[in-house]
Amino acid sequence: MRKIKLATVLALATAMVVGLTACGGSGSTASTGSSDAAAEEETAEEGGEEAAAADASGLKITLVMSQRDEFLSSLEAGAKKKAEELGVNLITQDANQDESKQIQYVQAAAADGQKVIIVNPINPSACQSIIDAAGDMSVVFVNRVPDDVSVLTDKAVYVGSDEHTSGKFQGDFLANYFKEKGQTDIKYILLRGIEGQTSTTLRSESVLKALADNGINATETYAKSCLYDRTEALNQMTNILADASKEFDCIISNNDSMALGAIEACNTAGRTIDFPIVGIDATADGRQAIKDGTLAMSVFQDPNGQGGGSVQAAVNLANGEALNANTDFEIDEETGHILWVPFEEVTPENVEEYENR
Amino acid sequence: MKSKADKSQFSKFLSDNGIWVVLVVLIIAITLVNRNFLTPQNAVALLTGESVKGVLTFGVMMAILSKGIDLSTGSVAALSAIVSAALCQQATATKLWAGLGTMPAIVGILAGIAIGCIVGFANGWMVAYLHLHPFIATLGTQLICRAICKLLTPGPVSKLTPGFRFLGNGRIGPLHMIVLVMIILFCISAFILRETRFGKSVYAVGGNDQAARVAGINVESVLIRVYMWCSVCAALGGILLAGRSDSADPANTGLNYELDAIAAATVGGTSQTGGICRISGVAAGILIMGVINNGMVMMGVNDQMTFIVKGLIIIGAVAFDMRKNRVKA
């Protein structure tokens, strides 16, 4: 009996070790192998960028994701693609919306002696605790801008898009649309995202500001949170459409999903869409709706640009180069520590260009 | 003759402390892959990262020992985190409860602990007097506590006072408070289980509640105290979490922590059939979970692999324990 017990302990331990080392080994070998290959390819193809690729190869960088929704998964894919191009050994970890876990990942990377870490922060108001946990490591925040940009320094930067401009594209579009009709007083419905999220606040604020700046007098008919959710927007819009007293000239949505819910509600209620509905994200479904003529326009947030940009920025920090070296993006003039990945307007005219981005 | 006795003692030691053997082997294996694993800096990262779950584990361990379970610990941690954090927001922060001034840290901490006492009493009362299965009773409080969190605030409560954050984030010299709290809780748990009448009663109730009753133990009172202990540990965990990350989020703080705590207690040899638990084993269980979490990052393995390894270790550990306990019987 004792022998059996002893054997079980040893077998269990051995199994774990074999399992662990096997997956560790294969994981790192595979990535090093492919990155070497990628680096060589690049050297062969483009002589000009040879130096940057050579400097970056072998650099180990951890990317800590806040979670993996549709957009952030594309961002992760963009980061991986860029890492492969540059020969960076990029490891992604999903903190699954757990801030404690996020800090844990940062500390582990610091203990591993990594030079720089990319973090997609869960809570933009608690970025200082991430910087503290990083110790000597540089930090690249991606996608969610710290609430307090004064935490940004030479060793803590942000790569992402300026949510102040996403709504501006919507507002400018609507202003032009109504000016062409000779209308300056409009009533709007605003479908808001999840309350308390920075994106919801800034997208809503910036669209209304752009309308006002363009001399449009906009009055709110209805403005409620539909949680960025298609079904929720469908339900709320169905109720609004049933209420004849609620007049409106356009529907502004904080994202495409809710705009699509609104379109669905109009179709179900038999209401002709002879007014503009505008969204943000330019998702696959959103782009289809633009082609169908139901969604007037959307705003493209570039996940590849953000993901790839964050990896390039991390490499730049590690090599002591300018934040925007080897990118097309601009550095924020005020802070000097933000790399802006621009939003882009998507309309029926240019929607085809976004098919494979 | 003598050598045989030595050998049998050695294998008994190995069988009793198999979990520590596994831990050591894991540490050696990971160190072989990445030498940075075995550094003081990483030990700090590992321990501070696991402390909250450790604190929750010392709580749920007691519930499992009494032949119960507590699924509400993650939500209790969240509720405690939000209420205590809201009481201790900095003057400049966007306050959850505007008009309410910034309270001294101790008020926030006590408020969180009080929440633990209330929920724990409710759990224990339902198990002891309504004879609800603990799985159901605590599933109910899990849902209720999480919903109250979301009713209290739509978004995270942030920018907490340094005084309040001290437990979760502060340090005395090289010693991190959050780790110290876990170690103190380990000592208290060990003392309760080994030295107090209450501890012995929990073993007795978990082993056979009818026999315990015949022996003159007030089973109901023991159960209520067990669940109160468990929820107070969870509430303390929530206070640590809020302090550590400088925010308490209604949707995500402590989410699924109850499962990690149950897993750590189980890997540490706490038997789901009740009445069997060694505090040293539970400590090893917590450390094993931490070594896997941290080691996987160090080895550069992508994160889904972590869950696969964790799953295998949980299954392996329980299979091994069942075999050991059957052999004993």
Report the DSSP pairing between strands A156-160 and A338-340. parallel
Nearest CA in chain B to A105: B297
Q: Distance between CA atoms of B308 and A297, rounded to whole angstroms? A: 43
Of B22, B293, B327, the CB nearest to A1: B327
Contacts of B40 (CB under 8 A, 6+ apart): none
Q: Indicate whether A350 pLDDT > 60.
A: yes
Report phi then psi at A67, rounded to 5.
Answer: -170, 180
Q: A112 and B316 in contact by Cβ < 8 A?
A: no
Mutate to test the interface with B, among A4, A8, A10, A12 (most CBs of B within 10 A): A12
Report phi then psi at A223, rounded to 5.
Answer: -150, 105
State the pLDDT at residue A14: 52
Q: A105 and B169 in contact by Cβ < 8 A?
A: no
Whether pTM exceeds 0.80:
no
Residues of chain B with pLDDT under 50: 1
State the pLDDT at residue A7: 52
Q: Distance between CA atoms of B79 and B87, rounded to whole angstroms? A: 13
A177 vs chain B: nearest CA distance in angstroms? 35
Tell me the H-state helices in chain B. Answer: 2-16, 18-33, 40-65, 73-87, 105-128, 134-152, 162-169, 177-195, 197-207, 209-214, 219-245, 257-267, 279-298, 303-328
Contacts of A356 (CB under 8 A, 6+ apart): none
Tell me how many degrees the CA angle A287-A288-A292 measures, rounded to the nearest 5. Answer: 120
State the pLDDT at residue B58: 97
A139 vs chain B: nearest CA distance in angstroms? 17
Q: A9 and B21 in contact by Cβ < 8 A?
A: yes
Report phi then psi at A352, rounded to 5.
Answer: -60, -35
Q: B300 and A60 in contact by Cβ < 8 A?
A: yes
Which chain A residues are closer than 8 Å to B36 by Cβ? 111-113
Residue B66 three-state SS:
coil
| DSSP tag of A334 | T
Q: Distance between CA atoms of A191 and A262, rounded to whole angstroms? A: 9
Which chain B residues are closer than 8 Å to A2 by Cβ? 8, 11-12, 15
Q: Indicate whether A79 pLDDT > 50.
A: yes
State the pLDDT at residue A40: 39
Which chain B residues are closer than 8 Å to A120 by Cβ? none
Q: Which domains does chain A have, with CATH numbers?
A: 2-161+303-346 (3.40.50.2300), 164-300 (3.40.50.2300)
Q: A104 and B293 in contact by Cβ < 8 A?
A: yes
Q: B300 and A27 in contact by Cβ < 8 A?
A: yes
Q: B252 and A99 in contact by Cβ < 8 A?
A: yes
The domain locations on chain B are 51-260, 278-320
Residue B100 three-state SS:
coil
Which chain B residues are closer than 8 Å to A3 by Cβ? 11
State the pLDDT at residue A48: 39
ipTM beyond 0.85?
Answer: no
Which chain A residues are closer than 8 Å to B269 by Cβ? none
> Confidence class of residue A59 from pLDDT cuts 50, 70 and 90?
very high
CB A69 within 8 A of CB A194: no
In this predicted model, which residue has the larger pLDDT, A54 or B22? B22
| DSSP tag of B132 | -
B204 vs chain A: nearest CA distance in angstroms? 27
Mutate to test the interface with B, among A20, A89, A195 (most CBs of B within 10 A): A20
Which chain A residues are closer than 8 Å to B22 by Cβ? 9, 12-13, 16
State the pLDDT at residue A268: 86
State the pLDDT at residue A39: 39
Q: A125 and B159 in contact by Cβ < 8 A?
A: yes
B195 vs chain A: nearest CA distance in angstroms? 30
Q: Distance between CA atoms of B181 and B236, rounded to whole angstroms? A: 9
Q: Within the 91-120 window of chain A, which residues sit less than 8 Å (CB to CB) from chain B?
A: 91-94, 96-105, 107-113
Of A17, A97, A126, the CB nearest to B29: A17
State the pLDDT at residue A54: 44
| Cβ neighbour number for residue A44 with a 10 Å cutoff | 9
User: How many Cβ pairs within 8 Å bridge chains A and B?
Assistant: 179
Mutate to test the interface with A, among B291, B297, B304 (most CBs of A within 10 A): B297
Q: Distance between CA atoms of A266 and A157, rounded to whole angstroms? A: 44
Q: Indicate whether A30 pLDDT > 70.
A: no
Q: What is the mean pLDDT of chain A?
A: 84
Tokens in use for A189? 């419905």
Of A16, A104, A197, the CB nearest to B26: A16
Of A2, A122, A195, the CB nearest to B154: A195
Q: A17 and B251 in contact by Cβ < 8 A?
A: no
Closest among A105, A107, A148, A154 to A128, alpha carbons compared: A148
Please write the tens of the pLDDT for every residue from A269-304: 889 999 999 999 888 889 999 999 999 999 998 999
Q: Distance between CA atoms of B296 and B298, rounded to whole angstroms? A: 5
| Mean pLDDT calculated for residue range A227-240 | 87
